[in-house]
């Protein structure tokens, strides 16, 4: 995809919820590195909840904003990693930081990793804000394999992710070849939404 940008240079925000593990952050960092190298005018900001984001080296014109961390308990529930606030408060705080970052940075692209609504829906206020405006193109990035079709369908239905993917995103990028696997098989996506899907290859 050509990055046109304005005289100020192309600006990209990557959202990586990263409640645990490193896969989301590593993928966002790799994409940010590749895209800023391909476009010498571009700069990228990664919004991440990873508790170890500060230990990574980021290339020139790529920075990160650390969202307050959360951790998953053995019963499947989430709690704040450091602040001692309840999960609704920490989610609202993270959502506010995301929205403020988007308003201040004014990105040309918002690339969301894997979760269409973000952690516990924290992205929804920002996505609503961006509806109908012309500056920011919203991209949902999916890895080549997500989960078994019936498991994924139930999860996306519970989170409102299917509706969000169809309503808020200009394009869906699948990080793999189309011949390998369709990660959204089993999801009730409209033909219009499927027409907005692009397979990037490995």
What's the CA gap between 7 and 171, in Å, rounded?
24
More reliable by pLDDT, 73 or 11:
11
Give mean pLDDT, residues 79-83. Answer: 77
Using one digit for the tens of pLDDT, what is the confidence trace for 134-149? 799 999 999 766 667 7
Name the average pLDDT for the chain: 87
Q: What is residue 145's predicted lDDT score, i.e. its pLDDT?
A: 62
The tokens describing 123, both together, are 């992205």
Looking at the chain, the whole-number percentage of residues with pLDDT higher than 90 is 55
Our CA dihedral for 104, 109, 113, 119, rounded to 10 degrees, sits at 30
pTM, two decimal places: 0.88
What per-residue confidence (pLDDT) applies to 7? 67
């Amino acid at each position: 995809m050509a990055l046109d940008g304005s005289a100020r240079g192309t600006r990209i925000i990557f959202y990586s919820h990263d409640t645990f593990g490193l896969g989301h952050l590593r993928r966002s960092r790799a994409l940010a590195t590749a895209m800023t190298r391909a476009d010498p005018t571009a700069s990228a900001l990664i919004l991440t909840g990873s508790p170890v984001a500060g230990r990574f080296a980021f290339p020139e014109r790529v920075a990160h904003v650390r969202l307050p961390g959360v951790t998953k308990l053995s019963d499947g529930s989430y709690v704040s990693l450091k602040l001692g606030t309840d999960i609704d408060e920490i989610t609202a705080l993270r959502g506010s930081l995301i929205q403020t970052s988007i308003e201040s940075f004014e990105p040309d692209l918002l690339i969301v990793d894997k979760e269409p609504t973000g952690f516990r829906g924290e992205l929804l206020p920002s996505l609503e804000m961006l509806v109908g405006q012309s500056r920011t193109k919203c991209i949902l990035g999916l890895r080549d394999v997500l989960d078994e079709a019936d498991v994924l369908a139930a999860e996306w239905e519970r989170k409102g992710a299917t509706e969000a993917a169809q309503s808020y995103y200009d394009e869906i990028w699948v990080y793999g070849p189309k011949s390998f696997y369709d990660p959204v098989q089993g999801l009730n996506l409209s033909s219009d939404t499927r027409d907005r899907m692009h397979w990037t290859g490995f």
